[in-house]
Structure 1
């Protein structure tokens, strides 16, 4: 019987008989939201916040030539509709002892509920993100680990113990390109599109 080991250690049924393998996927992924209406000022505010999320509303107002209360209202609307989701920190994991990035293409056992498999993988602290992909793999998992020994322990003792996982490959990331500000660059492109 296909199943997924939950946090309780018990095997959960992979799916109801006759249910499609991707049938439970909607429960494990974030839905694609509807596009929101925004203008060049909204995008300019997002650009400035992406550069430094700690800027005051007064500083932002000066940068976009608006009053601080008007900027506050725009930011509140961007938060409310979900465009601006969080103010966060960027951690240099290598400096904290987790320098190794590993990509793990995953193939599930035929008939497995992919959503349940994703939920099992999400329970692992080392999993940075999981993407459902097309092609010969079902998922692409990005892991963050300390070293080769840590990777081996996770694979042998945790990931490969998931009953609905058929096979994986292990792709070690040897280096990452310096991409300091994907968000700022894409917002800049969007701002240009709106102002031209």
Structure 2
């Protein structure tokens, strides 16, 4: 019998661009931790239904989720993506360009907390947030998302249930407790 996650993951197939992104991530030796296809489609749908134009992604990896987010934004939309590593941001930038979103994406490289402080100082505001970075800082990222949110903004976080581990009181490592 399939688990709920296995069932939902089998409902969605990936298109050629997303398959190429996953392959590029493998070729670059990056961790294979992109969002699953069903979650990617959910992100696209949430962005589209909310008519979000200004999106902040915390954690770019190779650009898979950035493409999913960008596919949903309204005309004139913009993705700002925070990524610790320059090599990851460069691969993500190339993949977003491949998907047709190169001109509507900005990458900020370095610790996300530093970038968030700069965004706050610049008076930046966003309609949609996707938090998918180091779990120990999720609460800090959430606090900044609230500060940077336009009224009615949506804040989404990846790995909230950590495949059931956050619901298991016997498991209480630092990452699990942070989420």
Structure-1-length-normalised TM-score? 0.24
Larger C-alpha radius of gyration, 1 or 2?
A: 1
Bigger relative contact order, structure 1 or 2 (CA pairs below 8 A, ≥6 apart): 1
Specify which structure has the higher proportion of helix: 2
Structure-2-length-normalised TM-score? 0.26
